[in-house]
Amino acid sequence: MKKTWLLSSIVSLSLLGGVLMPMGSYAAAADDVNPTYSDEFDAYEEDTITDDNWYEDFAEEEPELTADQQEFENYLNQVFALESYEEKAFDALESIGSSVNSSNRKSMYLKLTNTVIPNYTKYVSKLKQIKPTNPELKKIHATYVKGSYNQLEGYLLYKKAVSKTKVNYTLLKQGNAKVTTGDELLDYTQLQLYAYARKMGYDI
């Protein structure tokens, strides 16, 4: 399983608490805020420190996002809004432990039934409702949905495996296979998102 894997991607893309800044804009901003000594002196003489609107000039000079960049930011924001469902599901899974036996079977069943599956089902369902229009991003998202759905199928198999007094290890193994497939697809999705971000001009 990949706990909040996308959240770490979003943090790396510097989306939290702000807006992605395309490469090149940093240099432009540096040019704006590092004038020569004479420029600083002239600016001080002309405007003085009573000018409280200086920050508006910098805000106005921020480069506008392209349509694809804006869609990408909107996309990440939509996905990040679903993170709480994923986190609740994974926190419950981690509390179960890595081994399953007759003593913890019932506890695992209850956590899967009451927390893991309901939250991850909402996560996958809402994920499917996100509809990117950019063809490349749309393809990446399809892989993301497929990976998440594989994980959900794995959790459903886990539930079935521990639903009776005796643990069904065959179903448990099948569930592990589904989750592993989901992990691989999500790893690939993460790599694709990084590549797409770089293509969009983001410095990551």
CB within 8 A of 124, min separation 6: which ones?
A: 145, 148, 149, 152
Of 5-9, 84-88, 99-103, give the lowest mean pLDDT range: 5-9
Exposed e or buried b for every residue in 83-117, given b needs 16+ CB within 10 A?
Answer: eebbebbbebbeebeeebeeeebeebbebbeebbb
- E-strand ranges in the chain read none
CB within 8 A of 131, min separation 6: which ones?
A: 138
CB within 8 A of 82, min separation 6: which ones?
A: 123, 126, 127
| Digit-coded pLDDT (tens) for 49-65 | 455 564 555 555 556 88
The reported pLDDT for the residue numbered 137 is 96
| Digit-coded pLDDT (tens) for 117-162 | 999 999 999 999 999 999 999 999 999 999 999 999 999 999 999 9
The residues that bridge with 202 in the sheet, in sequence order, are: 22
